[in-house]
């Protein structure tokens, strides 16, 4: 079984009537790898996750989890993974601890093992003092930490995180990042969807950018930034006609959005130096290129609902 990928996706399609949400995608996730799915709203990320976790039927194609076909063996597949969904679906009628204990019954772990595992996870997530509290008493960050603890109750070798830190403050987000890093060090395979480019850069070995149901590109975050954008981005505003005329004679990759010009610099330093030398008064900002620049270049800057 050592040569079996934890996740294998082949020609995966999901249609809702005439609308194609996922359009023939293929990818693998290796053992111990963290892969992030990025894309605007409606790109097909969550639909892909729902099919992979057996919550939505596949229109066509195949998904295998640890070698098992999700369409043929959904119970076995679900038992092998931990799932932290996008929405908080904790039971408000139970305490924090009871949410873990009740959920553990789905995995038939045994009472003693479940009790020990629940206390271990409460400690790791900083929730021990809230163990007997009701769910309505928790902050948003505490609820997300409890959701992650619940996803780990069966000690899975694969973890699926669908936008795990959306809406959290920086402290809560960092705590979850630290826990995910620790899981990766322990060899757990992680599939992550996120709208936070920094989150993908911090956690993922590889990112896949989706749009309109297709995978546009994939690779290590640093490689994608280098290949798609370069080292620096020079952002200009209040651009004069003289500056525009100068830029028209340059072969620099540029993108104009409303009143802003974004110029990519492959090597770094050259573009900024040229503009400083010719137009020192030009309003500008020079910054390192990021994964967000890759994302916006490939998926567009227009707002998508």
pLDDT confidence band for 21 (50 / 70 / 90): very high
Q: Which residue has the tokens 């020990």?
A: 116
Q: Note the pLDDT tens digit of each residue in 62-120.
A: 999 999 999 999 999 999 999 999 889 999 999 999 999 999 998 888 889 999 999 99
Per-residue confidence (pLDDT) for residue 302, from 0 to 100: 57
Task: Provide the CATH number for the domain around residue 257.
Answer: 3.30.70
Average pLDDT of span 264-282: 92
Per-residue confidence (pLDDT) for residue 297, from 0 to 100: 86
**Does one domain contain both 216 and 241?**
no
**Does one domain contain both 108 and 236?**
no
Q: Note the pLDDT tens digit of each residue in 128-166.
A: 999 999 999 999 999 999 999 999 999 999 999 999 998
Per-residue confidence (pLDDT) for residue 169, from 0 to 100: 86
Tell me how far apart the alpha carbons of residues 61 and 139 are, in angstroms, rounded to a whole number. Answer: 40
Write out the residue range of the structural domain in which residue 244 sits: 230-288
Whether 269 is in a domain gets the answer yes
Q: Which residues pair with 260 in a beta bridge?
A: 237, 257
Whether 2 is in a domain gets the answer no
> CA torsion, points 36, 40, 42, 45, in degrees to nearest 10?
0
**Does one domain contain both 144 and 256?**
no
Per-residue confidence (pLDDT) for residue 267, from 0 to 100: 87
**Does one domain contain both 126 and 266?**
no
Which among 135, 203, 137 has a CA at the least distance from the CA of 165?
Answer: 203
Please state, rounded to an integer, the average pLDDT across all residues of the chain: 92
pLDDT confidence band for 6 (50 / 70 / 90): very high
**Chosen domain end from 199, 220, 241:** 220
- CA-to-CA separations, 284 to 23, 47, 244, in angstroms, rounded: 40, 40, 14
**Does one domain contain both 128 and 248?**
no
**Does one domain contain both 76 and 134?**
yes
**Does one domain contain both 196 and 103?**
yes
**Does one domain contain both 138 and 258?**
no
Helix ranges restricted to H, 39-95: 45-52, 74-79
Per-residue confidence (pLDDT) for residue 305, from 0 to 100: 47
**Does one domain contain both 213 and 246?**
no
**Does one domain contain both 201 and 238?**
no
Q: Note the pLDDT tens digit of each residue in 188-236.
A: 999 999 989 999 999 999 999 999 999 999 999 999 999 999 999 999 9
Whether 63 is in a domain gets the answer yes
Q: What is the pTM of this model?
A: 0.89
Per-residue confidence (pLDDT) for residue 1, from 0 to 100: 41
**Chosen domain end from 197, 220, 243:** 220
CB of 203 within 8 A of CB of 288?
A: no
pLDDT confidence band for 4 (50 / 70 / 90): confident
CA–chain centroid gap for 142, Å, is: 20
Task: Provide the CATH number for the domain around residue 164.
Answer: 3.40.50.300
**Chosen domain end from 187, 220, 253:** 220
**Does one domain contain both 69 and 121?**
yes
- If one counts the domains in the chain, the total is 2
Whether 296 is in a domain gets the answer no
**Does one domain contain both 81 and 138?**
yes
């Amino acid at each position: 079984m050592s040569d079996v990928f934890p996740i294998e996706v082949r020609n995966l399609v999901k249609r809702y009537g005439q609308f194609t949400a996922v359009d023939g995608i293929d990818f693998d996730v290796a053992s111990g790898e963290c892969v992030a799915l990025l894309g605007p709203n409606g790109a097909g990320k969550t639909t892909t996750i729902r099919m992979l976790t057996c919550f939505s039927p596949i229109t066509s194609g195949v998904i295998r989890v640890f070698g098992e076909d999700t369409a043929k063996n959904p119970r076995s597949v679900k038992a092998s993974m931990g799932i932290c969904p996008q929405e908080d679906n904790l039971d408000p009628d139970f305490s924090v601890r009871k949410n873990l204990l009740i959920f553990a019954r789905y995995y038939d772990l045994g009472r003693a093992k479940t009790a020990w595992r629940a206390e271990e996870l409460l400690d790791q997530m900083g929730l021990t003092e809230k163990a007997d509290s009701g769910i309505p008493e928790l902050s948003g960050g505490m609820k997300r930490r409890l959701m992650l603890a619940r996803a780990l109750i069966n000690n899975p070798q694969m973890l699926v995180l669908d936008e795990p830190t959306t809406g959290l403050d920086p402290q809560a987000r960092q705590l979850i990042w630290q826990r995910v890093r620790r899981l990766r060090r322990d060899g757990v395979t992680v599939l992550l969807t996120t709208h936070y480019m920094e989150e993908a850069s911090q956690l993922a070995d590889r990112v896949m950018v989706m749009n309109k149901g297709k995978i546009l590109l994939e690779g290590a975050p640093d490689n994608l930034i280098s290949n798609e954008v370069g080292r620096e981005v020079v952002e200009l505003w209040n651009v004069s006609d003289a500056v525009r005329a100068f830029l028209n004679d340059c072969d620099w990759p540029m993108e104009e959005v409303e009143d802003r010009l974004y110029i990519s610099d492959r090597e770094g330093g050259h573009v900024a130096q040229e503009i400083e030398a010719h137009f020192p008064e030009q309003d500008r900002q020079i910054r390192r290129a990021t994964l967000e620049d890759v994302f916006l270049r490939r998926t567009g800057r227009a707002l998508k609902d």
